[in-house]
Structure 1
């Protein structure tokens, strides 16, 4: 049965996969975009992929942090029954942490929730894309070896979030997610909510890559290894958890379709990764590439930097197997090389 789904921030890395999967499943999609140009580009990508562009419309929301940002878009589409909120800043190129990261995340979420309350009379399900950043502490706030699960919260405070852009991003995700739960408690809306908390998101772009010089923040970890090989350089080394973007899109749809997902926080993580692990996959599967040799002294000991994720509850609710690291890396790199 066709459902009309509103996807905020529809041109984002994760959001494009959600749009694609919704259209493949014969849903109608209304996407919010920052400009008509971006909306037209996405419509063109949808057509080029052989999907039904007739089932996709876009609404321009220039600034999600502006009061009433989503009001007009929802007024125009009273048929919307599901609202997927993915729009939020994820970059570290900021001058003012509060103004550029924290406020847009919190205000954007508040505006979406208020618009649904006032003008989303048919909305039954809301899924908010949050982040693993809300679950576990990072940097000075991490407790290596400590187990975290769907009930855990990052202890970061507003004051700590203003320290640097990374802390600002982490804080923005926590404060935005807290805003959702507070809103539900205070307003007791007619719709039900689920929260998606992905870790680093790898995987190919949903549509053709127009600009390979800089990919989304997570995929730049993979791309930076390829660039370092070409430039005879050292990539920055990372360690953390990953999930494939196609699994995030699937989880978003399961979250509004399955009753078990209501009022749940879902941690999307397939497992750990390090730059070293990714490099070994590339050496095995892309023998033609010129790849860097990592500086052994800069290798990150994953056990000393990360909490341990227990997301068995999430996996049980979702009911599908996640894509593994090798496939995720291989598909990402194949697209970079072939497009």
Structure 2
């Protein structure tokens, strides 16, 4: 009998890769989506694989959001991968739209496990973020971040702008998970790990040609591909990782005993938006002269002023190499151009 894995937010950018990897590895998957329609669409994308079933969780911020799903399936679920959390900067009420859903969603899925699946669930993996390790201000200073580092924002102080609020939402959600385990260690049997990726790039698991705007991190590359020579490119700087490596890490987080109880920092290196521009201009001649060039080769100067990530511990625990920025960007751009018939 194959194990059953519950994946919250199964229709998301990272989650669809996770579902694919789980099915390929022979697991049964129960995914949650916000509507019946989204769940049915995902099942179709996976060719109605009988190993995949879907449940509806309309609003992760609502008390008891996951209770119905775990009351029904809790006795067969062995592993829970909690990927559902808001990731958008297009919000006005930071507490209502970012902070509360992230924290409550984490608390409510853990409470549902405690109520309906405490004897069955062996492992829980939370999709956290490098944003829980440091916020943008910390990342803009010459410090070294490790698995022991934490974003230093407060609930009151983080509601200044959407980026800071989002970073804090990941911080408080992850803290809530570790605190829950500490407070309920005698009432649940699961191990906990968190996966903390930086900027997540890479190809979409499924392509929708009608979708002009991609998920928040992929949209950074998408906007460059569709820019003009005079366009102003959003200045970014921070750790990067490929979505396929993020997915692989979620499986390793519960399959490898070494990963139990660990924060797994996912970053192959640091990058600036200039580095992405340089790769695209060099590797895609059909775009050269049509998109900005910026200041070629200046990415290293920008990075010299910013933080470093020392995640040697995480890389050793996971035991597999991460993809380079070049491969990640190239695969992302190829997919976009193929969909548009420009490759």
Tell me whether the two structures share a fold, i.e. TM-score over 0.5.
Answer: yes
Shift of 1:304: 5.6
Find the aligned partners of 2:70 and 2:237 in 1 and give their Cα distance. Answer: 40
Structure 1, residues 237-278: CA drift from partner, whole Å, max 9, x if none? 222111000000000000000111111000000111222211
1:96 aligns with 2:96: no
Number of residue pairs matched by the alignment: 332
Residue aligning to 2:204: 205
RMSD across aligned positions (CA):
1.7
Q: 1:266 aligns with which of 264, 285, 292?
A: 264
Cα 1:249–1:142 shift into 2, 3 Å:
closer
> Contact 2:274 / 2:295 at 8 angstroms: preserved in 1?
no
- Equivalent-residue separation in structure 1 for 2:233 and 2:178 (angstroms): 39
Q: What residue in structure 1 maps to residue 213 of structure 2?
A: 214
Deviations 1:295-331 (A, max 9, x none): 449x775336532100000000000000111110111
* Aligned residues of 1:36 and 1:60 also touching (Cα < 8 A): yes
Q: Distance in 2 between matches of 1:109 and 1:292?
A: 41
The corresponding residue for 2:184 is 187
Distance in structure 1 (CA, Å) of the matches to 2:135 and 2:101: 22
Corresponding residue number in structure 1 for 2:287: 289
8 A contact 2:198–2:241 mirrored in 1? yes
- Kindly state the Cα deviation for residue 191 of structure 1 after the two structures are TM-superposed: 0.7
The equivalent of 2:30 in structure 1 is 30
Tell me the SS of whatever aligns to 2:220.
helix
**Are positions 1:166 and 2:163 aligned together?**
yes
CA contact (8 A) 2:35 2:57 kept: yes
Give yes or no for the alignment of 1:17 onto 2:13.
no
| Structure 1 residue matching 2:50: 3-state secondary structure | helix
Change (3 A) 1:275 1:338: same
Look up the SS of the partner of 1:83 in the other structure: strand
Aligned-pair CA distance for 1:232 = 4.4
Q: Which residue of 2 aligns with 1:228?
A: 227
CA contact (8 A) 1:145 1:308 kept: yes
Relative to the length of structure 2, the TM-score reads: 0.93
Q: Measure, in 2, the Cα distance between the counterparts of 1:214 and 1:71.
A: 33
Q: Which runs of 4+ in 1 moved over 6 A?
A: none
> For 1:33-112, what aligned pairs fall within 5 Å after superposition?
33-47=33-47, 53-77=49-73, 78-112=75-109
Q: Is the 8 A contact 1:240 1:302 kept in 2?
A: no
Task: State whether structure 2 residue 309 is matched by structure 1 residue 315.
Answer: no
Q: Residue 153 of structure 1 aligns with which residue?
A: 150
Partner of 2:324: 324
**Contact between 1:209 and 1:336, CA under 8 Å: does it hold in 2?**
no
Task: Give the SS at the match of 2:227.
Answer: helix
How far, CA to CA, are the matches of 2:97 and 2:324 in structure 1? 34
Worse-superposed segment, 234-243 or 17-26:
234-243
Tell me, in whole angstroms, the C-alpha distance in 2 between the residues paired with 1:76 and 1:292.
52
Distance across 1 between alignment mates of 2:304 and 2:160:
22
User: 3-state DSSP class of the match of 2:313?
Assistant: helix
In structure 1, the gaps of 5 or more residues are none
The residue that corresponds to 2:4 in the other structure is 4
Q: Hey, what does 2:126 align to over in structure 1?
A: 128
* Counterpart-to-counterpart distance in 2, 1:74 and 1:170: 29
Provide, for residues 112-138 of structure 1, a one-character-per-residue CA deviation record: whole Å limited to 9, x for no partner: 100011111311000000000111232
